[in-house]
Structure 1
């Protein structure tokens, strides 16, 4: 079954709100084997909305709309749809009683405008809205299906899950099941080259997606049931993991800080951070993990040279000879935070995030990171590009991945 998602609302066209509904619906449809071929946005205009319906049904069997079911004059999604299909609407008593009850609880009276939300063709499948006053509906006309949903995500999502997914499952003979593998420390093109012909596989498919500082590979299988799909995914997943090795750090919605938090707590290790250019980002990422209190002791933002000296014990002569942005200072910062906090592990960052402050010898994007663990100190030089925020984010991701690999390799 081919589907088109049609978002109705001038506010989307103007950029006042982001169309997150389409993303959600498309993902859920793929889960049940219904494929979205087009996504469209149209404003609150009768003629353009009618044209959008006409175009959508020339290229899709199923059209799902979001928005335009409210009580105001510019909420036209239903009315234009009924006109498009040549249908007359009548009061749906059950919906109207529900709207009256909602208004009664807040000591309000239902207006004529609100009453219009309860009008539907007699042969429509009305979808109850348990989170608002705008019911949705499904119109079946020959081999075409129109599903109309409210715009607010807090109303749309429950209605979609409670009513639309069960309805649509009858049209799907196959399902799609995906397994997401999260990869770090290697770029999208390099990882894709390593996987080679696996990316040409037809079922399951293997598709890369670049994200900030990492890559995800989605292995997706089409099958008649979930067990069969998982059986198809398993050998392909094993090959991806074998080829990419420790570059695969997690799966699904797992984030890097969750992996680190689990490793630190499992090993009974404590950690502290000393940051300059990242300004607390490393500590903030670690603290995202709910159980990190068992491991994280403290984070120091030692931005100035004086702070590096007084708080971490960085030698004044080291700063004078090598400069704050150097291997030597990153090393002393990592050692210093370990000593002053009593942590097993110390992380440090120092660099030039820009936009100013760079020189020919030390350009913007030059960052040094340090890791002190078990009496050993490792530092790395990073040459990063992008704006100030991107440089700081990439430095943060890199040092956290450096820590992950160290924890995996140590006993």
Structure 2
């Protein structure tokens, strides 16, 4: 199905807001086998929005809009879509009741313009939005479909997962099954080379590789009449991929690295603490995004200065003077000192040169991760060969999760 995304909002044109919704929805549509042909961005102007919508409907079978469903005067998307489709706006009782419930729960009073959000095109399918106050909707006419989302990304994600995606799948004659394999520690070129024996003979399921911020993803997808047949075909290819590059895989279902490792720690009841220097707390921030991690995560310390490393972790002054704070020796002492301080089973540290400049004779992007887990003690050297400070910090944080993955695997073998 030919598709496009029409993003509404003057703030997008001015660059005040980054259009993350378009990227998210394009990725999700692609995973379901929809061909995304265009991205449009239009300001809060009903004339230009109407013209662009008509053009989009000429070129595509599915138009996804985001933004402009709120209660204010410049929220014009719904009215414009209704006008283009020749639809009358009517009060949607369920949406109105949901608005009243939302306001009552928060001890707020609905204003007159709030009721605008409960007005819907007469023949629209209303898509519930439990993440906000503006319901989404789908409208279908003459073989064309428009699905209109609110603007906030959190609401877009909710409506897509719980309402819009099932709606679109119901329109498909064939079942689409896909899995997203996520890997770390292997580049996209080498990944594709390793998988060429599978890629060269692919028909259905299809295999596609993507690179993202230091990691690689592999989409395996099948479109068939029978759902079970499609699922079994995808699962078989995933097993074939695992046999080739299994050591690099951390998830078969699109999980973030922190979620996959966080769940592994929780499932195995492994207590963990972290002390960070060059990553500045980024690792701990990722870890605490995992639901339920409080069961195993004791604490995270940012021990940035040499004084902090000595006072909080007991790093020897002589070690600091001889090797500098940005050294494998200090990384290991940090992890050991944290274990002595906390009693956590697994302790991990980071130190090094995030950049942008070289320091103590080390190039930017040279960092060290220390990890202790029972008798397992290891220091891993990270060399990104980049001067981008934020990129280096993020990559080192991801590598910390990778080192935990390896430590757990090592413990599982003995």
Q: Same fold (TM over 0.5)?
A: yes
SS in 2 for 1:245: helix
1:10 correspondence with 2:14:
no
Structure 1 unaligned regions, length at least 5: none
- Residue number in structure 2 paired with 1:40: 40
Aligned runs of 1:109-148 on 2, under 5 Å?
Answer: 125-128=123-126, 136=137, 138=139, 140-141=141-142, 144-147=143-146
Q: Distance in 1 between matches of 2:312 and 2:159?
A: 55
Deviation of 1:247 (Å): 0.8
The residue aligned with 1:149 is: 148
Q: Match of 2:236?
A: 235
- What's the offset of the Cα at 1:281? 3.0
User: Which residue does the alignment assign to 1:56?
Assistant: 56
The 1-side partners of 2:311 and 2:187 are apart by 39
Q: Secondary structure at the match of 2:173?
A: coil
Could you say which residue in structure 2 is the equivalent of 1:388? 389
Asked if the contact 1:353/1:392 (under 8 Å) is kept, the reply is yes
Change (3 A) 1:263 1:138: closer
Q: Mapping of 1:195-274 within 5 angstroms?
A: 195-200=195-200, 201-274=202-275
Is the partner of 1:324 in helix, strand or coil? coil
Shift of 1:222: 0.9
Q: Deviation at 1:279?
A: 2.6
Q: Is the 8 A contact 2:127 2:163 kept in 1?
A: no
- 1:12 and 1:275, CA in 2 relative to 1: closer, same or farther beyond 3 A? closer
- For structure 2, the residue ranges without an aligned partner over 5 or more in a row are none
Alpha-carbon distance in 2 for matches of 1:161, 1:260: 24
RMSD (Å) for aligned C-alpha atoms:
3.9
Of 380-389 and 175-184, deviating more is 380-389
Task: Provide the secondary structure at the position in 1 that maps to 2:199.
Answer: helix
Q: Could you say if the C-alpha distance between residues 280 and 67 of structure 1 is closer, same or farther in structure 2, counting changes exceeding 3 Å?
A: closer
> For the structure 1 residues 209 and 10, does the alpha-carbon distance in structure 2 shift closer, same or farther, using more than 3 Å as the test?
same
Q: TM-score, normalised by structure 1?
A: 0.79
Q: Which string of whole-angstrom CA distances, capped at 9 and with x for unpartnered residues, describes residues 201-237 of structure 1?
A: 2311111222223222111111124212111112210
Residues 49 and 340 of structure 1: is their aligned pair in 2 closer, same or farther, counting only changes over 3 Å?
Answer: closer
Q: Report matched runs for 1:70-219 at 5 Å.
A: 77=77, 87=86, 92=90, 94-95=91-92, 125-128=123-126, 136=137, 138=139, 140-141=141-142, 144-147=143-146, 149=148, 151-153=150-152, 171-200=171-200, 201-219=202-220
Does 1:338 pair with 2:336?
Answer: no
The alignment partner of 1:125 has SS state of coil
Larger radius of gyration: 1
Whether 2:329 is the aligned partner of 1:328: answer yes
Following superposition of structure 1 onto structure 2, how do residues 307-322 of structure 1 map, counting pairs within 5 Å?
307-322=308-323
TM-score (norm 2): 0.79
Deviation at 1:246, TM superposition (A): 1.6
